[in-house]
Amino acid sequence: MGSGSTPCASCKLLRRRCAKDCMFAPYFPPDDPQRFALVHKVFGASNVGKMLQELPVHQRADAVSSLVYEANARIRDPVYGCVGAISFLQNQVTQLQMQLAMAQAEIMSIQMQQDPTTALMQNQLELSDDKSFLLSTSDNFSDLQQYLNNYATSTGNVIQDPLKRESMWT
Amino acid sequence: MPTYSRCAACKYLRKKCPSDCIFSPYFPLNNPRRFENVHKIYGAGNIARMIQKIPVHLREHAIDSLHFEAHCRVEDPVYGCVKIISQLQAELNWAQNQLVKTQAEIALVLNIYGPKEEPFSDLQVNEEDDSCDIGYHNFQPNNYGLQPFDPSVLGYGLS
């Protein structure tokens, strides 16, 4: 069990004896009962235990953190959970990319007016830099895109009204 | 002979599929993997409990999002779909930094070269004569009609 005779948060909630080698104890200390309560409510203690057992010890802390995050998201938004956050963030990224593209076009336009040769050379250099980032290489990105295309836009509540959904995440 | 078909959930759980089965609208027989993933991560009991608390017209969306998250978790047992959120946050930060940098460059260039010269600025336009209207309007830099972005509203705080 965690430390001394205090049961960990999971054993306390499940009302069982907290063994010395309790699998949950390192990740659900007794001073934060809410953490385990969240994951238990969404995933169930036995499912969490099975997931942890399948992982090497050094990855379990990260797994628990992400499970807590997902559980928290699902409780705050029972319909969309983390997917609501993903949709909101993706919308923000798209907006920023548009702003960035317009700003870059603006600066290019100014430079072209003043010094076309240098502006063209500089533009060539910038285009050769790898500005592509992260998400397009994500393994789950194509699944996410398909999901968002099929379902999120039809709700009218996820993509089209990001500021309203934003209030769930502040 | 009457036909009896079960939904994917009831088939997986090896039980009868009643006419009012809570799973059957969302777990058709032709997609067994959908229920398998969801059951593996959340458990059938938790899913049923979650569905019951959601209005009927939103249940399909809830199941779709649960399935997506379960699928992500099966593919990545450590981070699940949180990895995508983390990547998006990083992309957001990068784009924000780039935007600030570019806007600073615009300010610098305008300082060096002065305000952008309006094309045809020396053209005399007769306001009353439409035939001379070249349709040029002043362009406002840094005001593209989009909402200004404030990253502090996110507050995801992933460590």
Residues A47 and A22 in one domain: yes
| Last-in-domain residue among B75, B95, B112 | B75
Which of A48, A76, A104 finishes a domain? A76
Is residue A122 less than 8 Å (CB to CB) from chain B? no
Confidence of residue B154 (pLDDT cuts 50, 70, 90): very low
Residue B4 C-alpha, separation from nearest chain A C-alpha, in angstroms? 30
- Looking at the complex, report in whole angstroms how far the Cα of residue B102 sits from the nearest Cα belonging to chain A: 6
- pLDDT band at residue A128 under the 50/70/90 scheme: low
Instruction: For residue B51, give its domain range.
Output: 8-75
| Listed residue (A158, A105, A161, A114) closest to B144, CA to CA | A105
- Quick: pLDDT tens for B34-86: 999 999 999 999 999 999 999 999 999 999 999 999 999 999 999 999 999 99
Chain A closest CA to B87's CA: distance in Å? 6
Do residues B67 and B99 share a domain? no
Which of A76, A91, A121 is the endpoint of a domain? A76
pLDDT band at B153 (very low <50, low <70, confident <90, very high): very low
d(CA A80, CA B85) in angstroms, rounded, equals 14
Cβ–Cβ contact A103 with B under 8 A: yes
Q: CB–CB of B72 and A140 under 8 A?
A: yes
Considering the domain architecture, whether residues B104 and B143 belong to the same structural domain is answered as yes
Dihedral of alpha carbons A47, A53, A54, A57, sign: positive
Residue B107 maps to a domain = yes
Q: Is residue B2 part of a domain?
A: no
What residues in A contact B41, CB-CB < 8 Å? 43, 47, 51
B62 and B101 share a domain? no
Same domain, A90 and A150: yes
Average of pLDDT values for B10-15?
94
Cβ <8 Å between B98 and A107: no
pLDDT at B119: 59
The Cβ of residue A163 has, within 10 Å, a number of other Cβ atoms equal to 10
CB contact under 8 A, A43 and B43: yes
Q: Is residue A168 part of a domain?
A: no
Q: Considering only the beta carbons, identify the residue of B69, B113, B149 that sits closest to A81.
A: B69
Q: Is residue A113 part of a domain?
A: yes
Any B CB within 8 A of A100 CB: yes
Give the residue on A whose Cα is nearest the Cα of B61: A79
What is the number of structural domains in chain A? 2
Q: Domains in chain B: how many in total?
A: 2
Residue with tokens 């010094």: A115
Which domain range does residue A123 map to? 83-155
Asked if residues A42 and B45 have their Cβ atoms less than 8 Å apart, the reply is no
Tell me, yes or no, whether A145 lies in a domain. Answer: yes
- Is A58's pLDDT higher than 70? yes
Instruction: Please determine, for residue A154, whether its predicted confidence score (pLDDT) is greater than 50.
Output: no
Q: What's the pLDDT score for residue A166?
A: 39
- Per-residue model confidence as pLDDT tens digits over A80-110: 999 999 999 999 999 999 999 999 998 888 8
Asked if A117 and A64 sit in the same domain, the reply is no
Q: Tell me: do A120 and A139 sit in the same domain.
A: yes
